[in-house]
Amino acid sequence: MTTTPFSQEEIASEGLKPEEYEEIVNRLGRHPNQAELGMFGVMWSEHCCYKNSRPLLKQFPTCSDRVIIGPGENAGVIDLGDGFQLAFKVESHNHPSAVEPFQGAATGVGGILRDIFTMGARPIAILNSLRFGTLDNPRTRRIFTGVVEGISHYGNSVGVPTVGGEIDFDPAYSGNPLVNVMALGLMETDDIVKAGASGIGNPVLYVGSTTGRDGMGGASFASSELAEDSDDDRPAVQVGDPFLEKSLIEACLEAFKTGAVVAAQDMGAAGLTCSTSEMAEKGGVGIELNLDTIPHRETGMTAYEYLLSESQERMLLVAQKGREQELIDIFQKWELHVVVAGEVISDPIIRITQQGEIAAEVPAKALAENTPLYEREILAEPPAYAQQAWQWHPNALPDCDDQGIAGQTWQDILLKLLATPSIASKAWVYRQYDHQVQNNTVLLPGQGDATVIRVRPQTEGISTYKGIAATTDCNGRYVYLDPYEGAKLAVAEAARNLSCVGAQPLAITNNLNFGRPENPVGYWQLAKACQGIAEACTELETPVTGGNVSLYNETLDQQGHPQPTYPTPVIGMVGLVEDVRQVCGQQWQQQGDLVYLLGDCEVTLGGSAYLATIQQMVTGKPPQVNFEKEKQLQQVCREGIRQGLIHSAHDCAEGGIAVALAECCLGANLGVEVTLTPSDHQRWDECFFGEAAGRIVVSIPPEKQQPWEALLDKTLGNAWQQLGMVTGKVLKINSNLVVSLDEMREKTESAIVSRLA
């Protein structure tokens, strides 16, 4: 194969560094051709090979008696008991959603669903974690509405319910939204389908949709920062077809059940390049593929275009030799394209042919395993911005008393917080999602701190009351101010949200959304956050089963300087509900119920919604997790729900105790009267709106008071207090914060809609 050197501009256009190109030449013993250069460009991108983050990911705990499949496959799989197995994962589609919101978000949903059913699991639920700029910006409004529409279109059409998630609005995400999607699926095949190819001479089948030029270079595009000309990268955004994906789900699950499929791999990022190289490398074999056989929808496509296309709804399967026609018949029945496109070979290489000639020939390991790895030095001291923020003290704020602060009453402030889009009702969003399709959703969006899905057996005659709880969580302000503590808080809050519905937390998947790793501050944030996740998952016994790393989440300002988003390590956590008849929502259930605050931890205004929204400041030190207290808190909540003592449970998060009480009221159209007074040296705004690492508001029926308080004394000691009683149509805290439900509802329900008008 005769090749010539590429220019520095050509190398850079593929997202490669000069030293990486030199390494490619050394690996091949020659200069690559255009197709091979493109293959290395996508497979050596951060999106595919994690060259900056892999050293940090090694510290995550990945094993437990529940984990069946950990990191390294298309999705993690855990054991739910009684023969049920759950596959789940979260991934990002940030940059595509920034330039083409509808298709970027829609294909993000399609991609994560394929990761699930590729394992042999039927998708049963979708969650999301979204970050946008402020809604006073016309571009943000366009991106926000487009992303929601894209998620709705794909999920509703494919027939998988979108059941939960989180949305935050902050100027830090103005140029670069974060669109993370999580999917869950129940294993439907006897054996988990893995990606490693095996069996020399086994045929390789291409199934699904046709290949076009959409999504060209998507992996490389996802591994670079956004700039003013990023709209020119629209060809790097894929186009999805959810109806075809529905057929692909059914066809794949039917094919997997035959036992004729040896391995399967979704064609996601890097398309044919990724699927061939990862399947070959994981199996220690090679794959030869003939591009002339690939179904295509555009004429004159080059090898480079075939190999880098990220057209959606495509899969690569390795079949048992002699049984390929059996599989072909299944996919043709579902009106999908299916061809024998190649075979497994003994040489551990990826050999691509076109028109009778070798178009590319690359060692599989060079693309999928033996990739660049950058061990970066972590800052010895926290950066200046963090050290400065940690010096802040609430005494810098104006004085306040029991009536208010700086001309604002506490009622005014509560209503302003409830009208903040990040805290306000997200009904405008989730009403666009079909969250009840499949008829397994036990807790609907907005009803509880986590979603709950019924486990429905596939076998006739088997019944169970098991359920799965799931949530996505992260407070970007916390992580920005203190990546280590903020990441621990994200894991702890996810577990707390599961405990509030009565679920035992089992495992997590994460999506690490960070800025440029070459920036020492950005790498420090990433490294410290990974350390925090590792510690929290170890303490809470929730191992990491997989996930996604999304770096370069930043834009260039007018001076050409990169401006990163908040570091946002989204935690997707799943838990087990033994009996879905015992789950708990966040709303009050009946007048006369007694209200308790569980948890005795330090309250702070550092990094709080109050400080950001009311005082226009992002500073201070965020709350710190005490894992011993956290575990006791969650245990007593779960046990109270299991024993039928608790009517409602709600985590105190953004906005503190006042916002938590308001949210409990609004869902039930019931008010509450409580007594809250500042502790020694505590300000009134800290008392009402300060945030902490481990507090839960619960309500119980009065007749259960004695056994409930006995359980509290036994588990929490003195770390609880009775606050008051559910009553009327007013939120009343002492006599100095009194707001009607109608006032609160008007503010929270109109917050997003009014900004889109």
Q: Which residues are catalytic?
A: 47, 93
pLDDT at res. 143: 96
Q: C-alpha angle 381/386/389, rounded to 5°?
A: 140
Cα separation, 508 vs 182, in Å, equals 11
DSSP of 542-611 = --EEEEEEE---EEE-TTS-EEE---EEEEEEEEEES-GGG--BSS--STT-EEEEE-----B-TT-HHH
Percent of the chain with pLDDT over 70: 96
228: tokens are 């003013």
**Short-list 93, 182, 183, 102, CA closest to 150:** 102
710: tokens are 């006995």
Cα separation, 595 vs 648, in Å, equals 9
Options 3.90.650.10, 3.50.7.10, 3.40.190.10, 3.40.50.1110; CATH for 382-435+584-757 is 3.90.650.10
Cα separation, 253 vs 635, in Å, equals 38
pLDDT at res. 220: 47
What are the beta bridge partners of residue 441?
Answer: 453
Cα separation, 393 vs 390, in Å, equals 8
Length of the chain, please?
757
Cα separation, 73 vs 239, in Å, equals 25
Cα separation, 664 vs 697, in Å, equals 9
Crossing angle of helices 242-257/138-158, nearest 10°?
Answer: 40
Which secondary structure element, helix H or strand E, spans residue 630, and what is its range? helix 627-642
* CATH class of domain segment(s) 193-370: alpha beta
Domain positions in the chain: 193-370, 382-435+584-757
CA 442 vs CA 447, 454, 654: distances in Å:
10, 6, 25
Which residues in the chain show pLDDT less than 70? 1-2, 217-236, 458-461, 556-558
Cα separation, 151 vs 93, in Å, equals 11
Identical fold, 193-370 and 382-435+584-757? yes
